[in-house]
Amino acid sequence: MASVVITGSTKGVGRGLANEFARLGHNVVISSRNEEDIVSATEVMNANSDGTIIGQVCDISNKRELEALWDLAKNEFGKVDYWINNAGYASGQNPVHKIPESLVQSMITTNSLGTVFGSQVAIRGFREQGSGSLYNMLGGSFDGKFLTPGMGVYSSTKASINILTKYLVEENKNTGITIASISPGVLITENWLNEQKRLSHDEWERDKPMANIICDHVETVTPWLVSEILKNDKSGIRIAWMPLQKILLRFFKAKVLRQKRDLFSRYGI
């Protein structure tokens, strides 16, 4: 069984990935900046999984703490097979010039700086052990093809991760290291719901039909993502839950076939 490190993995897509890896019998190291979240998550996951889940507090903007996370996985499980830079922060309801300085700093520090540090730690460790797979998490309008309103700073951090990943692929050819990226789509996470609460009733009623087309639950997507990660051995690929053809099919079903999805009644919204 594989050993997997996932940053930012007590909630959202990170926890969904951890759940699925562990369900399949793999050993997982999770992390969060909150000790209570780690204790709670590991207790629940260990009671419902065939793999072993351990965790440690880690602020990904602190490289020493990321190194300690690697050391924990290596000491407990012998090696690290997969390192997934998942931890991130998104806030997207304002144009760039109106985003508070604190949110700008949080997104750049967590998303860009944290992924650079995490990648450095993982690549160094993989080179020492001669193998390993690194996955970086994309999102937003990372490629600039479709600009999502209000997501300028967040998308710019994901664009930086996209370029970083391309450099890592080029720099680590013929090393036994697989480097790739993940586009999980728009998932209904705690952070997403917090952003939704900032909308007025009228704004939500306006946006809800589109959200029902493009969004998904975490538990719908993460089993597929994990299966794709486990079978991949090629660097430079992007594992994408919602490629363009799938997006177009969703719109065709909604607009032409009148097939409706109701993703939000479980949340009372």
Is the pLDDT score of 146 beyond 90? no
Q: What is the pLDDT of residue 138?
A: 95
131 pLDDT higher than 80: yes
pLDDT of residue 267: 95
Longest dimension (CA), the chain: 55
| Higher-pLDDT residue of 182, 146 | 182
Q: Give the pLDDT confidence of 230-248 residue by residue, as tens digits.
A: 999 999 999 999 999 999 9
Within 13 Å of residue 43, how many CA atoms lie on the same side as its CB? 6
Residue 173 CB contacts under 8 Å (≥ 6 apart), including other chains: 235
Q: State pTM to two decimals.
A: 0.95
pLDDT, position 121:
98
pLDDT, tens digit, for every residue of 167-218? 999 999 999 999 999 999 999 999 999 999 999 999 999 999 999 999 999 9
What distances in angstroms separate CA 15 from CA 54, 177, 219, one per listed residue? Answer: 12, 24, 10
**Mean pLDDT throughout 212-228?**
98
- Picking from 110, 2, 111, the residue whose alpha carbon sits closest to that of residue 59 is 110
Give 59-90 pLDDT, tens digit per residue. Answer: 999 999 999 999 999 999 999 999 999 999 88
User: CATH homologous superfamily for 3-187+216-242?
Assistant: NAD(P)-binding Rossmann-like Domain (3.40.50.720)
Identify the pLDDT of residue 148. 84
